[in-house]
Amino acid sequence: MSHCLEEIHEAQVVAAGKAQGRWLRRFGPFAGSAMAAALLTACASLPEPASRTPSQALADTAGTRLGRALAPGQAQHPGQSVFYPLSSGPDALVARLALARGAERSLDLQYYIFDGDLTGKTLLAAVVAAADRGVRVRLLLDDLHLSGQDRELAAIDAHPNIEVRLFNPFANRSARWLEFATDFRRLDRRMHNKSMTADNQLTVVGGRNIGDPYFSASTATDFSDFDVLAGGPVVPQVSAVFDDYWNGAASYPVASLMPAPADAQAEVQALRTYLDEHAAEARGSDYARELLDSGMAQALEGGKVPAYWGQGSVIADQAVKVTLPPEDNSSHAIPKLVHLLDSAQRELALVSPYFVPNATAVDWLAGMARRGVRVGILTNSFAATDVSAVHAGYAPTRKALLAAGIQLYELKPSAYAEMAHEGHRSLISKSRASLHAKSYMVDRHLLFVGSLNLDPRSARLNTEMGVVVDNAALCTQLGAALDERLLDVAYKVMLEPDPAGGEPKLVWVTRDNGLLRTYDSEPDMSVFQHFGQGLLRLLPLQEEL
């Protein structure tokens, strides 16, 4: 499974039979079943719900090390939560490692993708080490990207302090492609949430999956992403979302889906040995040195993590969303997010890698612009996106948005090269940039950070979550940083009048080496790719994007 795929985008790959395992390769690749065997097992069914035992986040954790560290600040800011932005990949990984190493009672992890690459194994090693210390670990993963990894999942689950559950899993573990073809309506609904919570005291929520592209450790694609580390009253809200999914009907214990290891103790020890070997090898890497030099690592070492205090809340889909018809929005997060965004009086800044507004959304944004709200949108350019079909769904809306007075920017694939002299880019990653952050800012004091894209798939099919931060200082800082370099890292899409009085045409304006440059055709798009985009726009994919 390519690191690049994210929304329906993956579903189409699986349906085409191209899905591959992405976890620990200790036991060799998935070999696949013969067609006859696949047909015989196509009718595999999921186990009865009685096989899952409910559990909840721990409530009495104020006396933990993390709880004691937060107590003085909470006493000074009663009822408020504390937030620390995680803009860089190394900072985001260091924060997660710090949670795993600081946990004393519990770790709850909920992820759409958890790769078995450099960063994935590094985090897994820290999680297993926490379990070895007696920390209760609950690991909830979407099953879409876990093809061929059952033995590894069973080994992790065999640890006495770790339980693994899979969300909306494939019943047929050996012929997933066939089940996808026969049960598409169910398997098309995925859990896109991303959170990691330690001791119900500190949490990381945002847009990052677990894998090298999300932490600036990849040499192929470097996802520009954003998370927040949070503490205070917002954390139990995140834990409540986790519990809803963990105990929901769509989450199945690994033990109910696959055979337990014949010798569980030996499998767990083999897992430890494998992760220890990885850790020893990784310590001497350039990326490990970059982690030690990261701003987050330095702040933690000096005990001076910058704190932004303010009201915090969670916006999340209910887990039951995947069992209800897509048109039933009673469990959806989107209406709550729209209500938040609609409160803008002066400025609305939207950052979404997959931005596919339907006609209603275009009219809504145009209405905001008409009432005087300055609306700015940053999404991926064609060359930066990892999903061509999404660009094909978005591109036809550009002229209507621009005609309504909305400012539209598209990230350049060379964005990190443009920022290198400012120290914003990983020294390790030599890859192209691709926007992956989902953050929405209202009047420079309200900020949503999470997994929710502004596209039909996030709205109707997948489950999503995020946190809302009310802090003007944080929003002003983030907004100013984006404004300062936006024209360097992105194309500003504009309408240019036709001198002959015809329809205005699109142009792309950017700044290269301090000089403005204008493109009168889509940058980095060949004639063949332009033709391909035209074909994609003819396909009935809108609701799947």
What is d(CA 360, CA 336) in angstroms, rounded to the nearest whole number? 16
Judgement on whether residues 129 and 176 belong to the same structural domain of the protein: yes
Judgement on whether residues 391 and 462 belong to the same structural domain of the protein: yes
Active-site residues, by number, are 192, 194, 199, 436, 438, 443
Judgement on whether residues 124 and 184 belong to the same structural domain of the protein: yes
In which domain, by residue range, is 405 found? 311-544
What is d(CA 288, CA 327) in angstroms, rounded to the nearest whole number? 46
Predicted local distance difference test score (pLDDT) of residue 139: 98
Judgement on whether residues 528 and 482 belong to the same structural domain of the protein: yes
pTM for the complete prediction? 0.91
Which two three-digit tokens encode residue 300? 């933690």
Q: CA dihedral defined by 351, 353, 354, 359, rounded to 10 degrees?
A: 30
Judgement on whether residues 332 and 282 belong to the same structural domain of the protein: no
Listed residues 302, 331, 356: the one ending a domain: 302
Listed residues 302, 325, 346: the one ending a domain: 302
Q: What angle do CA 439, 5, 127 make, to 5 degrees?
A: 75
Listed residues 263, 280, 302: the one ending a domain: 302
In 3D space, the residue among 406, 419, 437, 391 whose CA is nearest the CA of residue 489 turns out to be: 419
pLDDT tens digit at each of 545 positions of the chain? 333 333 333 333 333 333 333 445 433 333 333 444 444 445 678 988 767 899 999 999 999 999 999 999 999 999 999 999 999 999 999 999 999 999 999 999 999 999 999 999 999 999 999 999 999 999 999 999 999 999 999 999 999 999 999 999 999 998 888 998 899 999 999 999 999 999 999 999 999 999 999 999 988 888 999 999 999 999 999 999 999 999 999 999 999 999 989 999 999 999 999 999 998 888 888 899 889 888 888 888 777 778 899 999 999 999 999 999 999 999 999 999 999 999 999 999 999 999 999 999 999 999 999 999 999 999 999 999 999 999 999 999 999 999 999 999 999 998 865 554 444 444 444 468 999 999 999 999 999 999 999 999 999 999 999 999 999 999 999 999 889 889 999 999 999 998 887 889 999 999 998 899 999 999 999 989 888 998 888 887 877 87
Judgement on whether residues 81 and 161 belong to the same structural domain of the protein: yes
**Burial of 528 (C-beta count, 10 Å sphere; 0-12/13-18/19+):** exposed
Domain assignment of residue 539, yes or no: yes
Domain assignment of residue 49, yes or no: no
Domain count across the chain: 2
Handedness of CA 21, 352, 296, 131 (dihedral sign): negative
Predicted local distance difference test score (pLDDT) of residue 29: 32
Domain assignment of residue 36, yes or no: no
In 3D space, the residue among 250, 284, 307 whose CA is nearest the CA of residue 76 turns out to be: 307
Judgement on whether residues 347 and 233 belong to the same structural domain of the protein: no
Domain assignment of residue 34, yes or no: no
Handedness of CA 56, 60, 66, 71 (dihedral sign): positive
Predicted local distance difference test score (pLDDT) of residue 537: 87
Domain containing 335 — which CATH number?
Answer: 3.30.870.10
Domain assignment of residue 216, yes or no: yes
Predicted local distance difference test score (pLDDT) of residue 419: 52
For helices 295-302 and 286-293, the axis angle rounded to 10 degrees is 50
Judgement on whether residues 338 and 386 belong to the same structural domain of the protein: yes
Domain assignment of residue 165, yes or no: yes
Judgement on whether residues 269 and 414 belong to the same structural domain of the protein: no
In 3D space, the residue among 316, 240, 265, 300 whose CA is nearest the CA of residue 158 turns out to be: 265
Using an 8 Å Cβ cutoff, are 354 and 454 in contact? yes
Rg (CA), the chain: 23
Alpha-carbon distances of 163 from 151, 322, 338, 350, rounded to whole Å: 14, 22, 36, 37
Predicted local distance difference test score (pLDDT) of residue 281: 86
